[in-house]
Amino acid sequence: MLYAFLCYNNEAAVMSWSKTEDDVVMARLSEVREKLRRQGKLGPSLRLMPTTAATTLIKEKDLVLDGPYAETKEALLGFYIIDCANLEDALGVARELSAANPGGAYEIRPVRLFNDDQLPQASAV
């Protein structure tokens, strides 16, 4: 079974880490990732840019809002990683997806760091 691990934390506090503190955490995480990679269990992992870099498309109203999706009534049901030229391009893709599946919202958040580890073919669903 493939599991997604969604990382939550106090953003302001994490943003207050010094570079050294951040590096220490990233180094510790990379040890865990390395172990998982050796076991052939690791898929792509990534770090998102701050929420200030996010833009949200409210699908049915075709309303573009600055910032992350803040409502708590809806649940996170899935996500895409898509290579877009810029925000306009990304909004175009989001509208295309939205036409296929109206309702809810897309939060469009640039990715800061992407580790494109590939799962062995056999373990993919």
Partner 1 sequence: LTDLAWIDAALTSARPQALSALLRYFRDLDTAEEAYQDACLKALTAWPRNGPPRDPAAWLIFVGRNVAIDAKRRAAKQQTLPDEDQLSDLSDIESDVVASLDAADYRDDILRLLFVCCHPELPATQQVALALRIVSGLSVAQIARAFLISEAAMEQRITRAKRRVSAAGAPFETPTAVERSERLAAVAAMLYLVFNEGYSANSCDASARAALCDEAIRLARLLLQLFPSEPEIMGLTALMLLQRARAEARFNPDGEMVLLENQNRALWSRDKIAEGLALLDKAIRHQVRGPYQIQAAIAALHARAQSFVDTDWAQIELLYASLEHMQPSPVVTLNRAVAVSKARGAAPALVMIEPLAQRLDGYFHFHGVRGTLLMQLARHGEARAAFNRAIALANSPAEAMHIRAQLDKLQEAAGGQ
Strands (E), the chain: 45-48, 55-58, 63-66, 105-108, 111-115
The smaller minimum CB distance to partner 1, of residues 4 and 88, is found at 88
Query: From the CB of 109, what's the least distance to partner 1, in Å?
Result: 9
Q: How far is CA 61 from CA 31, 77, 96, 99, 117, in A?
A: 44, 20, 14, 12, 37
Residue 69's CB: how many other CB atoms inside 10 A? Answer: 20
Query: From the CB of 60, what's the least distance to partner 1, in Å?
Result: 20
Site residues, partner 1 (CB under 8 A): 10, 12-17, 21, 24-25, 49-53, 55, 64-67, 86-88, 110, 112-113
The smaller minimum CB distance to partner 1, of residues 36 and 51, is found at 51
**What's the one-letter identity of residue 109?**
R
Query: From the CB of 63, what's the least distance to partner 1, in Å?
Result: 12
The smaller minimum CB distance to partner 1, of residues 55 and 98, is found at 55
The smaller minimum CB distance to partner 1, of residues 3 and 80, is found at 80
Beta bridge partners of 113: 47
